[in-house]
Amino acid sequence: MPLAKRSDYGDAKYAGASVDFNEDIEKALQAALLCGFDFIVTPLVHPDYRPPNPGRSEGHAPGQLTPPFKRHEVLYLPSSARVSQVVGSVSTWIDPDSENSLLKSQSVTTLKQQIAWAGHLGLQAVLLPAVPQPMKAAHYSQVVQQALNGLTHMAIWLTVPLSAEHHPSSDSNQLLSAPQNGSGALTAVTVQDPWEWWHQFRAMTDYHNLLGCCLEVGATLPPPQQIERWKGEPIKSILLPTKVFSSNKRGYPVLSKAHQELLVMFFKLRVQVIVIGPRLHSIPEQERTVSTSGSASDHDGPPGSQEHRSASRPSNMTLANFIPVAESANGGFTIHNPGEDHELRSYWEYLCFLFRKLEPLPEQDRLEQDYQDYLQAPLQPLQDNLESSTYEVFERDVTKYSQYEEAVYRALMDRVPDAEASTTVTTLMVVGAGRGPLVRSSMSASKRSGRCIKVYAVEKNPNAVVHIQTMINKEGWENQVTLVYADMREWQAPDLADILVSELLGSFGDNELSPECLDGAQRFLKSDGVSIPQSYTSFMAPVTTHKLYNDVKNYKDLDHFETPYVVKFHRHYLLAPTQPVFTFNHPNQADPIDNNRYARLNYHRDPSAGSAALHGFAGYFECQLYKDVTLNTHPPTMTPNMFSWFPIFFPLREPVYVPAGASVEAQIWRCCASHKVWYEWGITAPCAGPVHNICGRSYYVGL
Amino acid sequence: MPLAKRSDYGDAKYAGASVDFNEDIEKALQAALLCGFDFIVTPLVHPDYRPPNPGRSEGHAPGQLTPPFKRHEVLYLPSSARVSQVVGSVSTWIDPDSENSLLKSQSVTTLKQQIAWAGHLGLQAVLLPAVPQPMKAAHYSQVVQQALNGLTHMAIWLTVPLSAEHHPSSDSNQLLSAPQNGSGALTAVTVQDPWEWWHQFRAMTDYHNLLGCCLEVGATLPPPQQIERWKGEPIKSILLPTKVFSSNKRGYPVLSKAHQELLVMFFKLRVQVIVIGPRLHSIPEQERTVSTSGSASDHDGPPGSQEHRSASRPSNMTLANFIPVAESANGGFTIHNPGEDHELRSYWEYLCFLFRKLEPLPEQDRLEQDYQDYLQAPLQPLQDNLESSTYEVFERDVTKYSQYEEAVYRALMDRVPDAEASTTVTTLMVVGAGRGPLVRSSMSASKRSGRCIKVYAVEKNPNAVVHIQTMINKEGWENQVTLVYADMREWQAPDLADILVSELLGSFGDNELSPECLDGAQRFLKSDGVSIPQSYTSFMAPVTTHKLYNDVKNYKDLDHFETPYVVKFHRHYLLAPTQPVFTFNHPNQADPIDNNRYARLNYHRDPSAGSAALHGFAGYFECQLYKDVTLNTHPPTMTPNMFSWFPIFFPLREPVYVPAGASVEAQIWRCCASHKVWYEWGITAPCAGPVHNICGRSYYVGL
């Protein structure tokens, strides 16, 4: 039973529970499901199981003939009906990198054995224990890579402590006494940062798309800037030990404010939670039967508190018969649900409480969910004619067209004094008019300002032109709006324009060739004429995005690594704040006009944020339509409720390890040739790499 | 005319001269050839040439319509007959990364222009000036990568100063005042190390195989450990400015001891020298006509000195009519060669002198020249039957078989006291006898020791067996040698052996499955029996080898990056001393026998050696045949004059930048399955990378 019926946070609504090894796992699973959990995590083999010590007198490959498991030693599922509700966990005693050769050999054997068994059962995922020795898990990761090599759908999840002090073998002296040779090999910094353990492990497994991680939360949390890094990583679950909870005054398990915020952050990333460990918080018997109405005043929101109850049920209910209203089988209140006796029930209820408290996702975000972290090729509107439905989607962006209307309104007000309002006719040309939305915005601005305008609507798509004609006829604008079927770069205008209005921007500002189009159109702009937009600037930041890197890699060719994509980033982390890249101003007074650009961007990272992985660059723009009327996708200044543009993603061919405190230096070019425009990009720090898309060999925009 | 007729140092025998821009370049070329040089380096355009400042009123791509060169502005070759003797150099004033936009734009334009012109002429190489701004050459390298993208055979050579202080824009204050942000981006270390400039440049050009470098030597040299790094890089020429020479007491140009050693080092790598700059050393007129016989006593060896003359010509010759005897057109002495008047003649003579002084390359090295830096797939003698000619080549290794004879001799002497020499018959089994060389060595040892032996020659290749039979008959060994046509792992021996002799080692020791074969054969070894070899250990070191990296990359697939190769390393540099990897002992007393191995190797580098590029690992072995009789390919202990094994090369998929002072941590596994054995390898420092050849997916040795 999910934490709530709401679906706006995706998989985050599912919660799992760890269950001890159990010969009758179906029963244990049933109990957990009845309690409210959606799946369980349970050991693949009995904790006492050890593979036999190889002792044959001859042979090349110890472990090859490991005898089969016995029924009682192993997680046994009589039917495959339940496999999607069980995650198998590998024995936590393993240490494939141990100096002890017996332990090492048994670890390797059983790791292979257990993954193979999970695969045999058809489980969807296997949970691996955390690396026993920080930064010394080469052998562990090699065995896992070997296993991954043979897998097609079962995922492997590595447990990673969020903080080094919660590492099983943790001994801060040991960690601190790690060799500090300044070599980058095993410094105290890397040994104490579990992100480094994860990174080493996944780099050795070649960023395999079936390898994910489960972050185990401890009692104390690392600083926020270190937690941020995980947003771009493939986190499959949060492991939440019962010991991390404290008790509220009535004995119910509750989380600290910081832990609550952490969970909320991961809920928003659609990460599910797994409660691990035994019940440590026992609710006094009287509490379970006595009404608590009005007696609670804590505001950290444990189940049974005022805040909690009022959010989800009548305050005169007892906790004992509390099950979330929405999921109640008969739509009302049950008298007794056997799931309430489950030892982890109060933890599950707390998760329900936290999850239900999340503010509802805005409508627009909900609509865009399907596009999150999904690669799209940028449009080429200059080369290709758009379909009607594409125009239609963009026309729905009310915010954007309001801004255009406002920009035209201000320009009209500035250019025409009140005294001349009725006599002066302003010539306005909409270049790239599409189906006409900017004509409509301009006409509204004209009406609102009381300034007369004469509009030329220039459009090169013969199909779109039909819609404009319809609009003109329907609105009765025949005397004011002239429809021109032409390419703005070639049209011989009969008149000069006061205002040139266009909407040619792409996700990276200039990437749909707005500069080239407007340079071609400014021939028919008066010398004191105004272009709307007046200018635009692209912005870029280094980004971690494991998901997108893997999606690009999945194409298995160079071309896809040398193509920028339009992407709604979700699971991502910016390694440093954005920096401005290229700016274009219109009309462009330069002679000759040169739309080639080059930028060298040095991103300094906060050393306390730790190391991070770099998969490429996220790009945005800021556009000045007219004076302070703007359209911005750049996060710090983003125009609210505007959805016409997703950001852009420039991938790198190989993930780059960025050590703590290191800078990222990016180089990016906008290159122009007679029939195409393209970007080239590369990095020169923390280490130099190849320039991508040289000569536009993999990607370009046709002129 | 080459520096000498000797060919043992390859291209090093060719020397070039820089020639100023000249409208009649054929005449200048003729003069240089007559002087003795083999080619010239000359500017592609007049030093005063600047591309026109783009000033068109419209257009997208400035430079696109750059007007053609005029005849007098440009290097002009009326016919293509001479193109192989001319290297074109690009204007040294260029700075494509300049902050000055005019200079930047002109630089980019002319760089493209000049490379295109050189390509048009059909030159074999273009020499680029050094990067004008250390670690700030992204734009320069991007334009070069664009040019490389369109080239198929013309090489591009980047000038790189050997020492930062000789950098054209050098100003040590400027270099030292570079930002030191500890970020790895632009530290003083990287800014002051020209290797870093080269590395950034070639990394951004994606390690293109047509990009090489020309090292410009200055008056002072960097420390030897920094020079060493260049041995693995694609150095196309040494640029030797005349100003680096000093004058000996008679005015002749001579080099310091350190510079001589530097040149010798590069000669040995087959790197040619180009003398650049004007004549700065004028030989007094009397010196050019007066005999210097007996008057010189300097030992630094300038032309005209006692040492120089005695090495190549009668000491009573005057310098004026000195031309190298061997190349003299009529085989004798000419009275006056007009080439002697060439302003660089005395420098060329000095190079002749230095080159001729090189000790002759040993016969074996000369034979192996064709194999240098050439990738070979390792043999699979267990799976495939070798050809007769392959056996034949290996049988020529006199040293190897002498060592075997000595090992058998010592074992026989140890096992059989003098008193029993005539009565005890030692049973010796040669497993993998091939065409019989070990049978012969064993018989020689028997004869020399006076110990009687009975030999079983076991061989699985039915074709090789014919040769053994022939040998037995020819030598009359029918009573002592029994030929067995069988696989040693399956043969049912009629007898137990005292001594088991085999030669199953590969370039990495165990890589041709000696362990598996001998484990299978030790069934028929007496409990106190001896295996020759008794043990072997592999060794490995991180290596720079640009040539091999490019050869592997050229296959354009993953498989070739996951295959170890047999290679005679030549242009290579070990980033750190070798370390032992895997050891096998025979007979193997372990129960069960486990031939799986794993090693984690931490290579610490001398921080003063600077940064370096890592392309993979070089592997060697040491083999103990019997007690202190060894066969070693491991450089520090190498068995002299043995040629049966070249080292092994484990490539990495991507070149790795190893910062100054950083360690390299390697992981390598020997993995055994029922029908195959393979290696997996990867690195965990300076940054973690994927395990290569997981599950033997790209390469394995069949059992």
Separation in Å, CA of B662 to nearest CA in chain A? 4
Contact state of B688 with A200 under an 8 Å Cβ cutoff: yes
Query: Could you tell me the pLDDT band of residue B300, with boundaries at 50, 70 and 90?
Result: very low
Query: Could you tell me the pLDDT band of residue A98, with boundaries at 50, 70 and 90?
Result: very high
Q: Is residue A425 part of a domain?
A: yes
- From B217, B250, B276, the end of a domain falls on B276
Q: What is the tens place of the pLDDT at every residue in B373-408? A: 999 887 777 777 888 888 888 899 999 999 999 999
Nearest to A695 among B57, B149, B602 (CB): B149
A145 contacts in B (CB within 8 Å)?
690-691, 694
Regarding whether B548 and B497 lie in a shared domain, the answer is no
Q: Which residue of B has its CA nearest to A669?
A: B139
Contact state of A661 with B602 under an 8 Å Cβ cutoff: no
Nearest to B200 among A61, A206, A684 (CB): A684
Q: Which of B558, B656, B687, B695 to mutate to test the interface with A (most CBs of A within 10 A)?
A: B687
Chain B, residues 546-605, CB within 8 A of chain A, namely 591-596, 598, 600, 602, 604-605
Q: Is A488 annotated as a binding residue?
A: yes
Query: Are B649 and B543 contacting, i.e. CB atoms less than 8 angstroms apart?
Result: yes
Regarding whether B147 and B85 lie in a shared domain, the answer is yes
Q: Which of A144, A145, A658, A691 to mutate to test the interface with B (most CBs of B within 10 A)?
A: A691
A475 is catalytic: no
- This model of the complex carries an ipTM of 0.83
Contact state of A138 with B682 under an 8 Å Cβ cutoff: yes
CA distances from A373 to A258, A546, B452 (A): 27, 10, 79
Q: Is residue B113 part of a domain?
A: yes
Inform me whether the pLDDT recorded for B612 exceeds 70.
yes
Q: Any idea which of A385-389, A607-611, B257-261 has the lowest mean pLDDT?
A: A385-389
Regarding whether A472 and A549 lie in a shared domain, the answer is no
Q: What is the tens place of the pLDDT at every residue in B622-638? A: 999 999 999 999 999 99
In 3-state terms, what secondary structure has residue A84? Answer: helix
Separation in Å, CA of B687 to nearest CA in chain A? 7
Regarding whether B92 and B48 lie in a shared domain, the answer is yes
**Residue A588 CB: number of other CB atoms within 10 A?**
16
What is the rounded CA–CA span in Å between residue A245 and residue B695?
43
What is the rounded CA–CA span in Å between residue A646 and residue B643?
63
Q: Is residue A59 part of a domain?
A: no
Query: Stretch A449-465: mean pLDDT, rounded?
Result: 94
Q: Is B459 annotated as a binding residue?
A: yes
Inform me whether the pLDDT recorded for A170 exceeds 50.
no
Query: Stretch B640-658: mean pLDDT, rounded?
Result: 95
pLDDT at B250: 87
Query: Are B636 and B589 contacting, i.e. CB atoms less than 8 angstroms apart?
Result: no
Contact state of B674 with A203 under an 8 Å Cβ cutoff: no
Q: Which residue of B has its CA nearest to A98?
A: B598
pLDDT at A167: 58
More confident residue, A538 or A462: A538
Nearest to B149 among A669, A672, A694 (CB): A694
Chain A, residues 36-95, CB within 8 A of chain B, namely 54-62, 64
Q: What is the tens place of the pLDDT at every residue in A220-253? A: 999 999 999 999 999 999 999 999 999 998 889 9
| Residue B490 touches chain A, beta carbons under 8 Å | no
Q: What is the tens place of the pLDDT at every residue in B159-186? A: 999 998 755 554 444 444 444 344 444 5
Query: Could you tell me the pLDDT band of residue B352, with boundaries at 50, 70 and 90?
Result: very high
CATH number at residue A162: 3.20.20.150
Inform me whether the pLDDT recorded for B294 exceeds 50.
no
CA distances from B632 to B398, B407, B513, B517, B603 (A): 14, 14, 18, 21, 22
Task: Please pick, among A405, A512, A622, A665, the residue that the annotation labels catalytic.
Answer: A512
Regarding whether A87 and A235 lie in a shared domain, the answer is yes
Inform me whether the pLDDT recorded for B334 exceeds 60.
no
Q: What is the 3-state secondary structure (H, E, C) of A484-531?
A: EECCCCCCCCCCCEEEEEECCCECCEHHHCHHHHHHHHHHHEEEEEEE
Query: Could you tell me the pLDDT band of residue A353, with boundaries at 50, 70 and 90?
Result: very high
Contact state of A138 with B667 under an 8 Å Cβ cutoff: yes
pLDDT at B302: 43
Regarding whether B550 and B406 lie in a shared domain, the answer is no
Separation in Å, CA of B555 to nearest CA in chain A? 15
Regarding whether B490 and B580 lie in a shared domain, the answer is no
What is the rounded CA–CA span in Å between residue B225 and residue B233?
14
Residue from A88, A246, A259, A87 nearest A163 by CA: A259
CATH number at residue B554: 2.70.160.11
B516 contacts in A (CB within 8 Å)?
60
Inform me whether the pLDDT recorded for B290 exceeds 80.
no
Q: What is the tens place of the pLDDT at every residue in A526-570? A: 999 999 999 999 999 999 999 999 999 999 999 999 999 999 999
More confident residue, B640 or A304: B640
Query: Could you tell me the pLDDT band of residue A288, with boundaries at 50, 70 and 90?
Result: low
Contact state of A592 with B55 under an 8 Å Cβ cutoff: yes
Inform me whether the pLDDT recorded for B509 exceeds 50.
yes
Contact state of A138 with B600 under an 8 Å Cβ cutoff: yes
CATH number at residue B429: 3.40.50.150
Q: Is residue B515 part of a domain?
A: no
Contact state of B138 with A592 under an 8 Å Cβ cutoff: no
Q: Any idea which of B175-184, B197-206, B360-369, B595-604 has the lowest mean pLDDT?
A: B175-184
Residues counted in chain B: 703
Regarding whether B572 and B471 lie in a shared domain, the answer is no
Contact state of A60 with B674 under an 8 Å Cβ cutoff: yes
What is the rounded CA–CA span in Å between residue A51 and residue A38?
32
Query: Could you tell me the pLDDT band of residue B263, with boundaries at 50, 70 and 90?
Result: very high
φ, ψ dihedrals at B680, nearest 5° = -125, 145
Inform me whether the pLDDT recorded for B66 exceeds 80.
no
For chain A, what percent of residues have pLDDT higher than 90?
Answer: 72
Q: Is residue A61 part of a domain?
A: no
Inform me whether the pLDDT recorded for A510 exceeds 90.
yes
Chain B, residues 158-217, CB within 8 A of chain A, namely 181-186, 199-200, 203-207
Q: Is residue B297 part of a domain?
A: no
B181 contacts in A (CB within 8 Å)?
604, 663
Q: What is the tens place of the pLDDT at every residue in A263-276? A: 999 999 999 999 99
For chain B, what percent of residues have pLDDT higher than 70?
Answer: 87
Mean pLDDT taken over chain B: 87
Q: Is B184 left (phi over 0), alpha (psi -120 to 50) or beta?
A: left
More confident residue, B318 or B54: B54
Q: Is residue A173 part of a domain?
A: no
Q: Is A265 annotated as a binding residue?
A: no
What is the rounded CA–CA span in Å between residue A371 and residue A509?
20
Q: What is the tens place of the pLDDT at every residue in B48-64? A: 999 987 654 333 344 45
Number of domains in chain A: 3
| Residue B675 touches chain A, beta carbons under 8 Å | no
A150 contacts in B (CB within 8 Å)?
695
- From A242, A276, A310, the end of a domain falls on A276
Q: Is A359 annotated as a binding residue?
A: no
Q: Which of A197, A513, A694 to mutate to test the interface with B (most CBs of B within 10 A)?
A: A694
Query: Are B569 and B376 contacting, i.e. CB atoms less than 8 angstroms apart?
Result: no
Regarding whether A138 and A71 lie in a shared domain, the answer is yes
Regarding whether B583 and B458 lie in a shared domain, the answer is no
Q: Is B401 annotated as a binding residue?
A: yes
Regarding whether B490 and B599 lie in a shared domain, the answer is no
**Beta carbon pairs, A and B, within 8 Å:** 209
Q: Which helix (H) or strand (E) holds A39?
A: strand A39-43
Exposed e or buried b for every residue in A27-42, given b needs 16+ CB within 10 A? ebbbbbbbbbbbbbbb
Nearest to B183 among A56, A199, A662 (CB): A662
CA distances from A8 to A4, A98, A235, A260 (A): 10, 45, 18, 19
- From A251, A276, A301, the end of a domain falls on A276
Contact state of B184 with A673 under an 8 Å Cβ cutoff: no
Inform me whether the pLDDT recorded for A331 exceeds 80.
no
Separation in Å, CA of B227 to nearest CA in chain A? 21
What is the rounded CA–CA span in Å between residue B53 and residue B63?
9
Range of the domain at B488: 388-503
Nearest to B593 among A58, A150, A697 (CB): A58
Task: Please pick, among A216, A340, A503, A562, the residue that the annotation labels catalytic.
Answer: A503
Residue type, B631: L
In 3-state terms, what secondary structure has residue A553? Answer: helix
Separation in Å, CA of A663 to nearest CA in chain B? 5
| Residue B102 touches chain A, beta carbons under 8 Å | no
Query: Could you tell me the pLDDT band of residue B36, with boundaries at 50, 70 and 90?
Result: very high
Query: Stretch B584-608: mean pLDDT, rounded?
Result: 94
Regarding whether A237 and A124 lie in a shared domain, the answer is yes
Q: Which of B517, B694, B695, B698 to mutate to test the interface with A (most CBs of A within 10 A)?
A: B694
Q: Is residue B660 part of a domain?
A: yes
Q: Which of A183, A187, A204 to mutate to test the interface with B (most CBs of B within 10 A)?
A: A183
Inform me whether the pLDDT recorded for A318 exceeds 90.
no
